[in-house]
Amino acid sequence: MTFDTELVGKIGSMALIDKADHMIDYTRVARLSRELKPGYIWISSGATEIGRLDFIARNGYELSGADAKTDYASQGQTILMQTYRQFVDARYSVRQVLVEHQHFNDKEKCEHLKSLLLRCKEQNAIPIVNYNDAVSNEENRRMEIAALAQKTRRVYECVDNDETASRIACLVHARYLLIFTSVNGIYANPEDPSTLIPVITGKDAYELIEHIDAKKEFCEGASRAGANGAKAKLEYVKDAAAQGTTVYIANANYTIKDVLSGAAPSTKIGINLK
């Protein structure tokens, strides 16, 4: 099987934050950034929370009201991109790509996004993707999603960057999809670390989907308020895994290299895996 992209990776907001110091975890971002290279597409959450912490540090109070998320995201995006640019290998360009649901629900926009992402490898660049929270109005988005749902069988919202990463992995036919989170993977018992499920597989796409659905019953909880948790991750990655992409759900404490090589614990999902 041939693939158009080597890796689509995603890191969540809480994995980027140093909880003790209430700021971006520069050590973690530096380590991950040094592994990024052309042929990798990186989806990075964190702008809103980083912007919130930066605003508090500079002003001594939190914003309130419906527009707070917009203002925080706008402030956090600059810090997030500045940090990646600081630590990514200087030989490579870094490109910010902000997406919204419309880019995945409109065929023409989808193809435009795909072309942009695939050109990055040819042009020695690494795309850093995030949902465009700074200009996304939740009420309008819900109305647009509802309208789309009346016209098409399946609609992608992509506010959760796990879904964004999975849709991009399908779009660019990635060899690997890596979802970094704050735990080692999917557990049969979320309270017992020894019950990590190392592999979810099937002889074909149909059996694989059945086995993924069966594992969803074990999942509960999320890393932060408003996040969808492990069950949603499994739902989001189904299409990518069914097309032949090998999916890893792993802890951001580890390197990309160690996860892909099997040196780090993870849940590995795909067709005909050992």
Indicate whether this model's pTM tops 0.85.
yes
Q: Could you count the other beta carbons within 10 Å of the beta carbon of residue 256?
A: 24
Looking at this protein, which amino acid is placed at residue 105? N
Cβ-based burial of 155 (10 A; exposed 0-12, middle 13-18, buried ≥19)? middle
Angle between helices 205-215 and 229-242 (to 10 degrees): 180
Please give the backbone phi and psi of residue 99, each rounded to the nearest 5 degrees, phi first.
Answer: -120, 160
Instruction: Going residue by residue through the chain, which has 274 residues, state the pLDDT in tens, using 9 for 90 and above.
Output: 789 999 999 998 888 988 888 888 999 999 999 999 999 999 999 999 999 999 999 999 999 988 898 999 999 999 999 999 999 999 999 999 999 878 887 889 999 999 999 999 999 999 999 988 877 666 555 555 555 555 666 765 556 889 899 999 999 999 999 999 989 999 998 889 999 999 999 999 999 999 999 998 877 644 433 345 888 899 999 999 999 999 999 999 999 999 999 999 999 999 999 7
Q: How far is CA 55 from CA 48, 68, 226, 230, 267, in A?
A: 10, 11, 21, 30, 36
Going along the chain from its start, the domains and CATH numbers come out as 5-271 (3.40.1160.10)
Q: How far is CA 109 from CA 9, 130, 159, 218, in A?
A: 21, 16, 17, 36
